[in-house]
A and B are shown apart, each in its own frame.
Chain A
């Protein structure tokens, strides 16, 4: 069974600085998806960024980018120019490309952006 590990329960960063959230996963599959989801305080969970395992190029969405290391089974999220609105729980998630379409989540990292 796949597992997803987020080793940083909590992190903080100063506004305008850069922060990196770590995620490692374990799978024997070669084709899969990886996601970072954001859950702001008392608000809905939303997708931040997605990576398909067959793509070597790291995904980027505005200030959010990933460092996908397939061999190391690592999928970190970098947030540049942090903003107060980035304060949230961040969850890393894994999904097989075939078979069951369920997500396997890490335990989350609580990120606080300080003014």
Chain B
């Protein structure tokens, strides 16, 4: 079974803190994604990576950065957390060029910024 894990299920941080959200997948997938999920807005793509050290902006990259130093790990960084970044963050991975096109999701991190 594909497994995508995220470092925390719940996280509480203060405004202005630097926040790291970690995601690890164990299926040697090339592609990894970070989404933000808010009620009524669905999932919105923040950043994605199709290879080590490669990254591309998604639809809402402002206020976020990412790091992919190893193939299995994709980190989302909030340089200076703000209250409007309180949300559920989902990580996903997929095999590049897969004929099935499916992404596999982690359990999510619910981040609260006070």
Contact = CB atoms under 8 A, between A and B. Distances in A.
Interface of A: 6, 9, 33, 35, 37, 43-47, 50, 52, 91, 95, 97, 100-103, 105-108
Contacts of A97: 101
Q: Helix, strand, loop or mixed for chain A's interface? A: loop
A46 B31 contact: no
Contacts of B35: 105
B91 to A, nearest CB: 11
A103 B103 contact: yes
B42 A95 contact: no
A107 B42 contact: yes
B89 interface: no
Contacts of B96: 101
27 contacts: A35-B101, A44-B105, A44-B106, A44-B108, A45-B90, A46-B105, A50-B100, A50-B101, A50-B102, A52-B101, A91-B42, A95-B101, A97-B101, A100-B56, A101-B50, A101-B94, A101-B96, A101-B101, A102-B33, A102-B48, A102-B58, A103-B43, A103-B92, A103-B103, A105-B42, A107-B40, A108-B42
A33 B40 contact: no
Given A47-B102, A101-B31, A101-B101, A91 B43 contact: yes
B107 interface: yes
A106 B107 CA distance: 19
Contacts of A108: 42
B41 interface: yes
B45 interface: yes
A95 to B, nearest CB: 5
Contact of A35 (B41, B90, B102, B108): B102
A5 to B, nearest CB: 10
Given A44-B107, A45-B90, A102-B58, A33 B42 contact: no
Interface string B39-64: 01111110010100000101000000
